[in-house]
């Protein structure tokens, strides 16, 4: 295991654990997405530092919405968070959607290059739109291309999904990007993406989302398991 992905959850006092699809859109509409996103990023960076000080060589990926970028997450803010938390920029990957790139605004392109100049890695989730092409993606300073889970879900039974997966892998290879498959839940899916050239995989096949406080024990247990199965 080389990295983890930070996921936001709301422990509502009345409704209990609430998934982001129930509140993120409200945060975006009200403008609260900026402070929430900054809090998530700062907390994630503190957590990475804690894990690494404990001997866990793990990187972290954090999802960003386009509205976060447009409403306040400047490269200066990011630089301040990195300095405050004391983590090295390459330990952090910021994950953006392909939709943000499709806008191709001057603000977006400037932001991407400023983040890249800090040394932070950038990952884009490819949803296989008509613009997911070699010529299109090479204009942006991304390091990782991720295959959306919607294509992995039926990759074994749907030839169309399998073709899209192969196409995205080919684009990643041509651009010398790391290719990551999201949403891997079965051994068959894992075997498929491995055989077809994915560099990394993530999904419930390895672990469902777990609290940060449980992650160190999870890593230690899985390191032991990997040692004995080697």
What is the number of structural domains in the chain?
Answer: 1
**How many angstroms separate the first and last alpha carbons of the chain?**
14
pLDDT of residue 132: 55
How far is residue 27's CA from residue 32's CA, in Å, rounded to a whole number?
Answer: 5
CA distance 17 to 145: 30
DSSP assignment string, 162-194: HHHHHHHHHHHHHTT-EEEE----SHHHHHHHH
> Do 87 and 52 meet the contact criterion of CB atoms below 8 Å apart?
yes
Distance CA 156, CA 57 (A): 33
CA–CA separation, 147 and 166 (whole Å): 10
> Rounded to whole angstroms, what are the CA distances from 136 to 48, 106, 107?
33, 15, 17
Q: What is the CATH number of the domain that holds 175?
A: 3.20.20.450
Structural domain that includes position 166? 3-229
CA distance 108 to 226: 41
Q: What's phi and psi for 35, nearest 5 deg? A: -65, -35
Handedness of CA 11, 15, 18, 21 (dihedral sign): negative
pLDDT per residue of the chain (230 residues) written in tens, 0 to 9? 788 888 777 777 777 776 767 767 777 777 777 788 888 899 999 999 998 898 888 899 998 877 777 776 888 999 999 999 999 999 999 998 887 777 767 888 889 999 999 999 999 988 755 455 666 788 889 999 999 999 999 999 999 999 999 999 999 999 999 999 999 999 999 999 999 999 999 999 988 888 888 888 888 777 533 333 32
């Amino acid at each position: 295991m080389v990295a983890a992905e930070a996921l936001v959850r709301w422990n509502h006092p009345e409704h209990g654990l609430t998934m982001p699809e129930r509140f993120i859109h409200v945060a975006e509409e009200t403008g609260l997405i900026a402070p929430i996103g900054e809090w998530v990023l700062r907390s994630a960076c503190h957590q990475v530092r804690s894990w690494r000080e404990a001997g866990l060589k793990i990187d972290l990926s954090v999802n960003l919405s386009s509205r976060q970028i447009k409403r306040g997450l400047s490269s200066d803010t990011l630089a301040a968070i990195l300095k405050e938390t004391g983590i090295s920029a390459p330990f952090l990957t910021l994950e953006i959607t392909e939709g943000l790139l499709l806008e191709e605004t001057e603000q977006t392109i400037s932001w991407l290059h400023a983040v890249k100049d800090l040394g932070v890695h950038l990952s884009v989730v490819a949803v296989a739109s008509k613009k997911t092409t070699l010529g299109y993606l090479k204009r942006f300073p991304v390091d990782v291309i991720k295959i959306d889970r919607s294509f992995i879900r039926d990759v074994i039974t749907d030839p169309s999904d399998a073709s899209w997966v192969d196409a995205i892998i080919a684009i990643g290879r041509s651009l010398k990007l790391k290719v990551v498959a999201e949403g891997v839940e079965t051994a068959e899916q894992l075997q498929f993406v491995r055989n077809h050239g994915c560099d990394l995989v993530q999904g419930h096949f390895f672990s469902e989302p777990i609290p940060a406080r449980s992650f160190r024990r999870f890593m230690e247990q899985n390191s032991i398991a990997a040692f004995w199965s080697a």
